[in-house]
Amino acid sequence: MGKKQQASDDVYAQAAGAIGGLAVAFGILAAIRDKLGLSWPATVLLTAGVLVALGYGAWRLRAAIVGLVAGGKQPAAALKQEAPAEGLVAAEEAVPAHPELTEALVTAGVIDKAEVIRADEVTVEPVSTGERYRFLLPKTRTYKDVERRLENVAGWYGISRLHVKLERDRNNERGAHLLMLDAPPFSQPFPAPTREQIRSFTGVPLGHDVTGQLAGVPTLDKASMVVGGMSQMGKTTLINGLITCLLIAYGDFDLYLLDGKFCGLVTFEKACVRYESSDDPAVFESIADELIDRGARRYEKMREAKRNREPEPKFKPVIFIVDEAADFFADDGTPKGKERSAGIAEKARKLAAKSLESRISMILLTQRPDKDAIPVTVRNQCQYRLCMYVESEGTAKVTLGDSYFTTAAPINPTHLNPQIKGQAVMFAGGTSTLIRGFNFSDEFMWEVVDEVAARQQKVLETAPLSPLKQAIDLMRNAGVEFMPTADLAPALGITETRPGERGKQLSKKLGVTPGKDEKGVVRGYWLTDLIAATAAES
């Protein structure tokens, strides 16, 4: 700064000084060259190298001295912010700062230059994949301040956002647990969890976190989920893992599966109420209609119970999973097609919205990157969002939400390593967690499915199916929406052959009035009417 002033005072003096300096530098270089017998370029390079090395050495020495005396200097600032009211600055209360964390958090902009992380409030514990720092922030800060600048903290340590995981201390807003991995996440595979581990997890496990612990969502009750990611990243595998865990530990629930793509969910056909493999929007609509009806009946029962001042009825959870859902929402560009796809989107939205009270949850998977792969109205109803590797942030937003990158400590799905399959950013309850889905062996999944199917069979044997349910099963197995009385009656064990009498007997047995086929000619029953009549069940 002095030089600057001088320059403004006297430009000539500065020029003279510069010439003098140059002459001296040239003299020194000439002397070195003479002494060492080197060429001019070699002399210049060597001298520059020695000067840089000396400068670096001096900087290191200074940093070390600052570190050593930090105990005497920085705590004064710490005390200042810890007891601002009293303005106490008592030397005997001075506590050394944790130099590394303090510098990291100051540089990252989490705390002020005058603030410190106290060394006696930091513990470092090794975990299988790295180290976990537990520390307290100054009294002016909270855990959220670290969350907001997590990328910068990772940057200070020279690692990526994917290498760090931040957790809050449940008992102290100033407490933060910062996990730092030694290697990129999931460099080593974790073994699939055992039945015991799945059962003892509080919530629904979806995969491992970066330390190998099980991670998931608290419950699927009153919640729907969307899973996105490029093709072959592990969506179907993750959902297979989820269904396996649900079958092991979620208790009694009704599973509806719609395989929009090949046969990714077929393993569970035996253990579900309804399995369809189709990319026809009509099939999606038919399941959605069935579940919306079921939801409506549940609402009616809840209303009735409230009206009669009875306890709220307990409903069996229903989980509807659609693999490759985007196809059902796509339209062919014609006005009619658009109208139809809008109708389907509305049904899906309604279903996801209803899940809040009626215990019907929906899980949608998609590999399509388009903006409207999952209509925004549907996605917004999904409290849980998972995104596997995608090529652009725009695609990540399709799944995670338009404002995802402004949430606390987001994880960018474009940064995931696409070679490590099954990795997903799980965004739930406003928090992002990096997980890797389970990859159970087929044998394990078959075993679980067989057990559940055997259990369901046993229940059926002790409480045989009602004629109504038998009729529904029959029609579903035959893949028909309408069945004439003439066919349905014998199938349900009615031997009467006179049409009038046979019709009466069947109607009585089912408790449903018959209808007519599409042409209004043949008497019989519509599947939708039968399903609607299962009002007794919930």
Q: Does 236 bind ligand ATP (CB under 6 A)?
A: yes
CA separation for the pair 201, 197 (Å, rounded): 6
Q: Out of 6, 39, 128, 232, name the contact with ligand ATP by CB under 6 A.
A: 232
Instruction: Report angle CA 161, 167, 168 to the nearest 5 degrees.
Output: 135
Residue closer to ligand ATP, measured from CB, 261 or 297? 261
CA separation for the pair 434, 153 (Å, rounded): 17
Tokens of 520: 């209004």
Instruction: Identify the residue whose tokens are 């409506």.
Output: 296
Q: How far apart, in Å, are the Cα atoms of 53 and each of 30, 31, 32, 48, 62?
A: 21, 20, 17, 9, 14
Chain centroid to CA 443: how far? 27
Instruction: Identify the residue whose tokens are 């409030």.
Output: 121
Q: Out of 236, 244, 267, 395, name the contact with Mg ion by CB under 5 A.
A: 236
Tokens of 202: 């509080």
Nearest residue to ligand ATP, scored by beta-carbon proximity:
422
Strands (E), 384-533: 384-387, 423-428, 431-437, 482-484, 515-516, 523-526
Q: Out of 118, 141, 174, 235, name the contact with ligand ATP by CB under 6 A.
A: 235
Cα atoms found within 13 Å of the Cα of residue 261, Cβ hemisphere only: 18
Q: Out of 98, 174, 436, 509, name the contact with ligand ATP by CB under 6 A.
A: 436
- For Mg ion, the binding residues in 261-320 under the rule CB under 5 A are 264
Residue closer to Mg ion, measured from CB, 236 or 399? 236
DSSP-derived 3-state class of residue 429: coil
Segment interacting with ligand ATP (CB under 6 A) among 195-203, 230-238, 402-410, 445-453: 230-238
Q: Does 237 bind Mg ion (CB under 5 A)?
A: no
Q: How far apart, in Å, are the Cα atoms of 208 and each of 129, 228, 241, 363, 422?
A: 13, 18, 11, 19, 10
Smallest distance, Mg ion to C-beta of residue 236, A: 3
Residue closer to ligand ATP, measured from CB, 171 or 188? 188
**One character per residue 255-274, x = contact with ligand ATP (rule: CB under 6 A):** ------x-------------
Q: Does 102 bind Mg ion (CB under 5 A)?
A: no
Residue closer to Mg ion, measured from CB, 277 or 431? 277
Q: Does 422 bind ligand ATP (CB under 6 A)?
A: yes
Nearest residue to Mg ion, scored by beta-carbon proximity:
236
**One character per residue 437-456, x = contact with ligand ATP (rule: CB under 6 A):** x-x-----------------
In terms of Cβ atoms closer than 10 Å to its own Cβ (0-12, 13-18, 19+), residue 321 is: buried
Q: Does 240 bind Mg ion (CB under 5 A)?
A: no
Residues forming the site for ligand ATP (CB under 6 A): 229, 231-237, 261, 367, 421-422, 436-437, 439
* Site for Mg ion, rule CB under 5 A: 236, 264
